[in-house]
Amino acid sequence: MPIEPHDTTPLISLGQSDYRRDIYPHDLITKPKTTTMKNVLTYSALNTFRNCPRKYKHRYLDHLRRPERPDALAFGSVIHGALERWHRQATDEPTTTRLFQIFDYLDAQFPQREGDEKQKHQWHIARAMFAGYSDRYEHEEFEVVEVEKEFQAEIRNPDTNRLSQTFVIAGKADGIVRLHGELYLLEHKTASAITSDYLDRLWTDTQIALYCHYLRELGYPIIGVIYNVLLKTRLKQRVGETQQEFEARRAELAAKNKSGRSTAKQQMPETDDEFRARLAAWYARSESFHRERIYLSEDRMAMLQEEVWEITQQYLDARRRGKWLLNTSNCFSYQRPCEYLAYCQSGFSPNVRDNLFEVAPPHEELVELTIGGADASDDTDF
Ligand code: SF4
């Protein structure tokens, strides 16, 4: 006779002294493991482990983080936030109304701009960038289907197709758009220059290829990626010359002149309006924005699945053995020292750790999900 999961008649009552426990039919059914019981891995976590297992430990297990945030990251996040709002807006609203909403958002991101030159500079650029963007893409060629789409998907053993019992993968895609009837992932980038090297590097963007794979599994038949690249100008507001600097320059010019005189004038600081006009002209150029479309091959998707699986295997092995290797060839990648360099150099001194780092959970972009790296009881059951 089939067992009804919610039968209210106990099969047997167990008791001893003042302890009593009724056993119902549904207590005997083995419940399948749900994905919420698994550890969530993000691409950042996977990639960090692949690049340097020790760095993974610092960031994802010990939750160590430098308190300050690099400027480039902070600016990129602000622009990201602006693009998210822009693509969430109803496109039938007038462009100026939409743009003013974005300006309100940008103004709120730089609250100290009156007294802080750095903030003021970034605020000028962000506003000019967005004004240029809204002009350039007033009428989008694609239809926005999803914005900031979060997902959580199963990791599979590519040889057996069995689900990982330990991990699921999670991520957040900037957007999904429909173009000529096909779905694409939309990925925003801010860059300081768009060179052929930069465009070539987009082909190596493993994160996005993985996102496509997992979003396909969740029912979005994505065929490629549209990279939405916004250039960050290097223009700076001119500060002008001090009297001393001007006199030194004038004397130098006069010395080169046969008459021993110079008609040079003192360079005055550029006003906000003048700087805004220069920025607006810069962002009116077509090359200040770029869209690159990339298609993804099935072969590449399959290879990535294998890579993900292999990395999870290596991760489990490292955790089981408590060995987090230092990959010193990664200490100076991205043209700057790793944020944990001093800590590793010190031999993991608690003093260095406490002075340089704060403890903050990772996966800021996925705060509502379980954090990867927690202990799992079934490491070997893949
Ligand atoms: S400093 Fe080098 S060894 Fe240490 S965590 Fe960073 S990349 Fe790894």
| pLDDT, tens only, 187-234 | 999 998 888 888 888 877 888 888 998 999 889 999 999 999 999 999
**Which residues make Cβ contacts (< 8 Å) with residue 205, sequence separation at least 6?**
187, 225
Closest CA to 110 of 130, 132, 135: 130
Axis crossing angle, helix 298-321 with helix 43-51, rounded to the nearest 10:
70
The HSE-up count of residue 51 (CA atoms within 13 Å, CB side) is 16
Give the pLDDT of residue 21: 54
In total, the chain counts a number of residues equal to 382
* pLDDT computed for residue 293 by the predictor: 94
Whether 378 has a pLDDT exceeding 50, the answer reads no
Closest by CA position to 130, among listed 288, 238, 267, 270? 288
Q: Tell me the pLDDT tens digit for each residue of 310-357.
A: 999 999 999 999 999 999 999 998 778 999 999 999 999 999 999 999
**Range with the poorest average pLDDT among 157-161, 319-323, 366-370:** 366-370
Which neighbouring-strand residues pair with 359?
64
CB 241 within 8 A of CB 270: no
The four Cα atoms 140, 144, 149, 152 give a dihedral, to 10 degrees, of -120
Per-residue pLDDT at 206 = 83
Residue type, 186: L
List CB contacts of 233: < 8 A, sequence separation 6 or more.
Answer: 125, 128, 129, 279, 282, 283, 288
Write the pLDDT tens digit of every residue in 98-156: 999 999 999 999 999 999 999 999 999 999 999 999 999 998 999 999 999 999 999 99
Question: pLDDT tier at 363 (50, 70, 90 boundaries)?
Answer: low
Residue 228, SS3 per DSSP: strand
CA–CA gap between residue 240 and residue 249 (Å, rounded): 13
Q: Tell me: pLDDT of 90 over 50.
A: yes
Q: If DSSP states are collapsed to H, E and C, what string results for 163-184? A: EEEEEEEEEEEEEEEEECCEEE
Please name which of 78, 86, 83 lies closest in space to residue 118, comparing C-alpha atoms. Answer: 78
Tokens of 304: 């990535």
pTM of the full structure: 0.76
> What angle do helix axes 43-51 and 206-217 make, rounded to 10 degrees?
140
What residue's CA is closest to ligand 1, atom 1? 341
Taking residue 138's Cβ as centre, other Cβ atoms within 10 Å add up to 11
Q: In a mutational test of the pocket of ligand 1, which residue from 50, 56, 330 has the highest number of ligand atoms less than 8 Å from its CB? A: 330
Q: How far apart are CA 193 and CA 198, in angstroms?
A: 8
Which residues in 284-308 are b (16+ Cβ under 10 Å) and which e?
eeeebbbebebebeeeeeeebbeeb
Task: Count Cβ atoms below 10 Å from residue 20 Cβ, excluding itself.
Answer: 9
User: Stretch 268-276: mean pLDDT, rounded?
Assistant: 93
How many angstroms separate the alpha carbon of residue 325 from the centre of ligand 1?
9
369 vs 311, which has greater pLDDT?
Answer: 311
Q: How many C-beta neighbours within 10 Å does residue 160 have?
A: 8
First-to-final CA distance of the chain: 33
Is the pLDDT assigned to residue 374 strictly greater than 70?
no
In this prediction, residue 15 carries a pLDDT of 55
Residue 34 reports pLDDT greater than 50: no
Ligand 1 test: best mutation among 59, 325, 344, most atoms within 8 Å of CB?
344
Q: Count other Cβ atoms within 10 Å, centred on residue 282.
A: 18
Q: How many CB atoms lie within 10 A of CB 57?
A: 23
Q: Does residue 366 surpass a pLDDT of 50?
A: no
Confidence at residue 8, expressed as pLDDT on a 0 to 100 scale: 57
- Here the tokens at position 206 are 């493993």
Tell me what pLDDT residue 141 has: 92
Closest atom of ligand 1 relative to the 58 alpha carbon: 5
CA 355–ligand 1 middle distance (angstroms) = 18
Residues with CB under 6 A from ligand 1: 52, 54-55, 58, 326-328, 330-331, 338, 340-341, 344
Comparing CA positions, the residue from 172, 152, 160, 132 lying closest to residue 365 is 172
Residue nearest to atom 5 of ligand 1 (CA): 55
User: In angstroms, rounded to a whole number, what is the distance separating the alpha carbons of residues 7 and 294?
Assistant: 55
Ligand 1 centroid – CA 341 distance (Å): 6
Question: Which atom of ligand 1 is nearest the CA belonging to 330?
Answer: 7
The pLDDT of residue 368: 37
The model's confidence at residue 23, banded by pLDDT at 50, 70 and 90, is low
Instruction: Specify the pLDDT at position 199.
Output: 86
pLDDT tens by residue, 244-259: 888 888 888 888 888 8
Please write the tens of the pLDDT for every residue from 62-80.
Answer: 999 988 765 655 888 899 9
Query: What residue's CA is closest to ligand 1, atom 4?
Result: 344
Which pLDDT belongs to residue 74?
84
- Tabulate helix, strand, coil % of the chain (nearest 5): 45, 20, 35
Q: Average pLDDT of the chain?
A: 84
pLDDT at 148: 93
Q: Does position 372 have pLDDT exceeding 50, yes or no?
A: no
The better pLDDT of the pair 351, 299 is held by 351
Q: Which residue among 47, 51, 52, 62 is best mutated to probe the pocket of ligand 1, counting the most ligand atoms within 8 A of its Cβ? A: 52
The Cα 173–Cα 366 span in angstroms is 11
